[in-house]
Amino acid sequence: MRFKTGEQVMMPKVLHGLDPRRYADPLNVDLRRPASRHAAFGDGPHRCPGAGLARMEMRVFLEEWLKRIPEFSIKPGRKPRTSSGQVNGILSLPLVWPA
C-alpha cells in the first residue's frame, strides 16, 4: 500500500499501548506494571471530566474482584470481542475461574 502526499492516517486508540518497543509484553495484563502515559481517558490539555470517577470505579472493581476471584483466564478456544471508535469497549469477555 502506498500513501499519497496529503493523505491522512487514522490510528485506532485501541492500538495506543501495543508497541512492544515501548511497552514490555503489551498483550499481557500485569496490574503491577509501572504507570505509563496512555490515552484511556483522553490525551493532552482536553481530558475527560469523568476520568477521576472512572479510575476510582475501576480500582474498587479490581480490588473487590481480585479478593473474590484471584485466579481467572480467558476461556480456552474463545477470544474477547471489542469495539472501538469514539469510545472503546468490550462486547464479550468469556472468563473462567476455579470453582
> Tens-of-pLDDT digits for all 99 residues of the chain?
788 899 888 777 667 778 888 888 888 888 888 877 666 666 666 667 788 898 899 999 999 999 999 999 999 999 999 887 777 789 999 999 998
pLDDT of residue 44: 63
pTM: 0.57
41-60: buried (b, 16+ CB within 10 Å) or exposed (e) per residue? eeeeeeeeeeeeeeeeeeee
- The DSSP code sequence of the chain is --PPTT------GGGTT--TTTSSSTTS--TTSPP----BTB-SS---TTHHHHHHHHHHHHHHHHHH----EEPTT---EEE-SSS-EEEE--EE---
Q: How far apart are CA 24 and CA 20, in angstroms?
A: 6
For cell 479510575, the residue is 55
Q: What is the pLDDT of residue 77?
A: 97
**Res 18: pLDDT:** 80
